[in-house]
Structure 1
């Protein structure tokens, strides 16, 4: 049996439940369309910094924030388009704006469709008319996110899209990685480093990008939690970013359609023609043993 309940907390919270598998999502449409929690048999999949979450002035550190129309940061938070300079802050604006709920389904699975439309606020920093639809689909221990991007402008629309999932972990030394790449690039560096499947968690912060991917899935096994996370992504996604901070109980493995600063460099930048719609899919599977 599938169900969707709505509770008014600090934010209106949609609770999607697959009762047979005891899997549950919590989604906040008005707070960036974010999934804040995902539980399977009472066990949390995502990390959430509750103190930051209570402060609406701070970005949410936890759950699965949406990155659009850029992933990562731009130099000086700026990009140039048609000889005009625009300011766009890290990861774009989608994670900070209210999304509307456009459809609820509880038949073969439980789905919640959210919509973000361009407005006067977005056009000041990103001069396009657009509509973005995301459908969160929960079935068993799998979360699928179906994405649709429509360019309603008269000019071609460049963008990147991604997700920033924070996975809960209590002991990073118990993590085993299967990432389909043999090299990564550190943030703010052009230097390429070889990757042998391990990270040095004694560092204060790890922020690296895998830009040459040989497959469409990656897995992280947390032996401390008996949890295997599988991330699958389609051809739209060219980059995986791994980020964590020392002393915090999370790691992030983030699928991005384009690398940092793609809006300026054009590298793997998606360009959508006027009137066109593009679809994309990612899938997360959490298997507790």
Structure 2
């Protein structure tokens, strides 16, 4: 079977592509978390398994889902402009809620679904359905997000993924497709991208607005990981957590607090739907 439920090394679902043998691992009850992606026999996604198995600690690894905000808000509050206020913790609630999982009909991947509940309505007063598709293609992982607004008013949102990727070391890393300027999230101030990337071993948190794709090149592993972006899901965040041998390369629709500043803010009309797409491609050097 392409989709199997397993108990080892932790309870999860395993999807295997019939043609390539590539695999993805998912734990839907833990925020719809993708915990692994094996491509060409190599594990691409980083996961701190010991920390993951400790429910008292936050997750370090996999690909947490960020919705309906990316980053944080002042005092965790989002004014909605009509007298209402949403109360949202950093990165929103999607990464902490149970999702539903099913295999896609074409046999190429899986679909995760999350819908509003009384709990989400108390924090974010909108009815919605999120559908997150992961598809395996030759040497690639394709991601399609569809948001359905089931409310009678427009729904403001940002969306992102927070995937962790294995690297040989935090030295010997190159980046391609990066613009000259970035936003340093640690100081919420503009900065020179090349200068910031010199600090991988000290820890970085930066956002860039690339033209199209950006790549993480691991020289020792002789591997390039390219993230292909398309509007409006076209911003990229890079984050490290030394000494972990990983780099987060995250697609975001808007910077931190974009629903307040209006910078790349997305708003979905009542009854409407919107699709967002991105793609990760693994290449040898």
1:175 maps to 173
Aligned to 2:89: 89
Say whether residues 1:233 and 2:253 are aligned partners: no
Taking the TM superposition and a 5 Å limit, the aligned residue runs for 1:104-253 are: 104-105=104-105, 107=107, 110-196=108-194, 199-201=197-199, 204-210=202-208, 212-213=209-210, 215-253=211-249
Q: 1:180, 1:202 → 2: CA distance?
A: 15
User: Are 1:255 and 2:254 matched, yes or no?
Assistant: no
For 1:5, the equivalent position in structure 2 comes to: 4
Could you give the per-residue CA deviations for residues 18-43 of structure 1, whole angstroms, max 9, x where no partner exists? Answer: 25433111011111111101112432
- What is the alpha-carbon distance in structure 1 between the residues aligned to residue 90 and residue 278 of structure 2? 21
- In structure 2, how many angstroms separate the alpha carbons of the residues matched to 1:202 and 1:166? 14
CA contact 2:163–2:249 (8 Å) conserved in 1: yes
Distance of aligned partners of 1:202 and 1:71 in 2 relative to their CA distance in 1, 3 Å threshold: closer
Task: Quote the residue 1:37 is aligned against.
Answer: 36
* Segment drifting more, 4-13 vs 58-67: 4-13
- Larger proportion of strand: 1
The verdict on how the C-alpha distance between 1:245 and 1:115 changes in structure 2, with shifts beyond 3 A counting, is: same
Structure 2 residue 280 is matched with structure 1 residue 276: no
Could you tell me whether the CA contact under 8 Å between 1:172 and 1:201 is conserved in 2? no
Q: Size of the alignment, in residue pairs?
A: 284
CA distance in 2: counterparts of 1:248 and 1:267, whole angstroms: 32
Say whether the 8 Å CA contact 2:186–2:205 is kept in structure 1: no
Give the aligned partner of residue 26 of structure 1: 25
> 1:61 aligns to what?
60
Q: Secondary structure at the match of 2:110?
A: strand
In 1: Cα distance, 2:105 partner to 2:195 partner: 40
TM-score (norm 1): 0.91
The alpha-carbon distance between structure 1 residues 201 and 19, as it changes in their structure 2 partners (threshold 3 A), is farther
Question: TM-score, with normalisation over the residues of structure 2?
Answer: 0.93
- Unmatched tracts of structure 1, length 5 or more: none
Q: What secondary structure sits across from 1:245 in the alignment?
A: coil
Q: Structure 2: where are the runs of 5+ without partners?
A: none
Contact kept in structure 2, 1:152 and 1:275, CA below 8 Å: yes
